[in-house]
Structure formats: C-alpha cells, structure tokens
Amino acid sequence: LAHSSEADDVSCLRYAAELQAASLCAHTDYQPGQEVYDSYGPGLSPGDLLLDYGFVDPANTNHRVEVEPSQLVAPKSARARALLQALGGAGMSDKADAGGAAAAPSAPQLVRLVLSEEGPDQATLAWVRAALSGDADLIRAGWRLKAGPKDSDLACRVMGTLAQPASCEQETAVLTTILTYVDTALASYPSTLEHDQAELAQLAGAAGSPGADAWLRMQVLRALVSEKLALVGCAAVVDEWLQQLEGGCDVSELYDWSESDEGGEGE
C-alpha cells in the first residue's frame, strides 16, 4: 500500500504477538475503485519520507528539522559535557571553533534535537540549558561532583530539573543560542524559501505528467520547503519569546505547553 499523510496512526500496520496476527484499519470510508492507503508513520516529516522512501506526500505538513546537538551548542564545561554524554550525546565537544560554533563530534550522536514551526521542543530547550549551565548550576540540579558519562539514570533526573527555566538571564542565553543557529542554518542554503516555493509551484503547475527528473526535483523541493518553513517558524517563535523576556515577562510564565508536548508559543 502507498503512504498517505492524511492517514493517522490507526492506519499503521500492527502485529499482535499473542494472536500471531497483523491488523490494519482504514482511516476513512473508501468507495469502490478508490486507492487504499496506509501510514508509514504519522510523525514522519517530508524530510523523513524523502530519505527513507524516496518521495514526499504533498499533504504532509509535519514541518520539523532534527539537529545534531553538537551543531547547535557546545557544552560550557567538562561537567556539562559529561552530563550530555550520559544522555547519548556521544562525542560532544566542550570546545567551540573560532566562530563560536560547536566543534565536530568525534563519534556518532544518538540524540537529535527538534526545531519546528512551533519552536524548539521541551527536550531541546532542556538540552541547551544543560550545555550552557555552569558547574554550580549543574550541582544544584543534582549532577554530583563525581558523576560521569556512565551515570545515565542520574542524568535523566537532572534533565527533569533542567526542563524548567531557572532565570531570565539563563533563558535569554538559551533562546539566543537557538536563534543564532537557526539564522545560520537558513543562510547556509543556496536558495531561499520563496525561490523554492516558486520553483515547486511552477513544476507542479506544468501541463502533463512530470518526467523522472522533474518528479524527483519536486520531491526534493517539498522536503527543502518543509525544512525552511520549520526554521522560519521556529525563528519567529523564539524571537517572540525573547521579546517577552525583554518586556519583563516572568520566566516561569514564558512557555505554554498545554496544547502540545512538542512545542508551544509563549503566553
């Protein structure tokens, strides 16, 4: 079956070991002669579809960018580095290059941070807080003096504490770090969002069925447009949060995660 982003998790193939049977439910009422779709995963982004399956469903609006932690932020200290390594950030460097960016990791990282149109998710904010925390901040959060990369259980508890912003000054540094990364990422593309959208519209509006090259180009453009929409939206949300902090917003009231666990806008 072909994938449809309009199919939800109901249309994912499931195997029940105790019954030794697989089940797949329709997400809509099909009429005779209609093509039947399933879902390869309701959380897949256009980039995921392109890389894993070689196409992008035009209906997919799950715009997000997954970022390697070392690309976003360098740990402020060896203690912060050990904490992040315990969480799966293998190869995290505690040194930045001359431009202030994190150095390249020495080993593959198991963690991916998420930026979307709704802003950075809670896990991303907590990760950046951990990376930018000083030794005293980490000790207050529960990261013991002799804790190291193997103390994964303790690291998870510490990140639970760091899930909440501690101060306006700290959160301003966290959000500024994310905004700087997003601006740099957008500037690194060889074309703009508007250019890609115009080219995609031109290809999609061409008469007749697209040739193989045109079809492939459309898939790539859909993924690129999705990534850029995620970054542009993220930048707007983070900028709004920074403005609220500058305007005197209490840091404890900055975020509203009531509607989504993946992100949210400031109140």
Residues whose CB is less than 8 angstroms from the CB of residue 29 and which lie 6 or more positions away in sequence, other chains included = none
pTM of the model: 0.84
Residues whose CB is less than 8 angstroms from the CB of residue 264 and which lie 6 or more positions away in sequence, other chains included = 118, 119, 255, 256, 257, 258
Residues whose CB is less than 8 angstroms from the CB of residue 83 and which lie 6 or more positions away in sequence, other chains included = 75, 130, 138, 143, 147, 155, 158
The beta-carbon contacts of 180-186 under 8 Å, at least 24 apart in sequence, are 181/67, 181/71, 181/72, 181/73, 182/115, 182/231, 182/234, 182/235, 182/238, 183/235, 184/101, 185/65, 185/231, 186/228, 186/231, 186/232, 186/235
User: What confidence tens digit (pLDDT) does each residue in 81-136 have?
Assistant: 999 999 986 545 544 443 444 444 444 557 889 999 999 999 999 999 999 999 99
pLDDT band at 24 (very low <50, low <70, confident <90, very high): confident
pLDDT above 90 as % of the chain: 68
Place of tokens 């500037």: 187
Q: Residue 228 in contact with residue 193, Cβ under 8 Å?
A: yes
242 or 257: which leads in pLDDT = 242
Q: How much is the average pLDDT of 66-94?
A: 85
Rounded CA separation 32/266 (Å): 47
Most confident of 70-74, 86-90, 177-181, 210-214: 177-181
User: What confidence tens digit (pLDDT) does each residue in 158-198 have?
Assistant: 999 999 999 999 999 999 999 999 999 999 999 999 999 99
Q: Token pair for residue 221? A: 């453009």
Res 100: pLDDT: 45
| pLDDT at position 209 over 90 | no
Q: How much is the average pLDDT of 199-222?
A: 93
> Judging by beta carbons within 10 Å of its beta carbon (0-12, 13-18, 19+), is residue 18 exposed, middle or buried?
exposed
Min mean pLDDT across 27-31, 212-216, 221-225, 229-233 is at 27-31
Res 92: pLDDT: 57
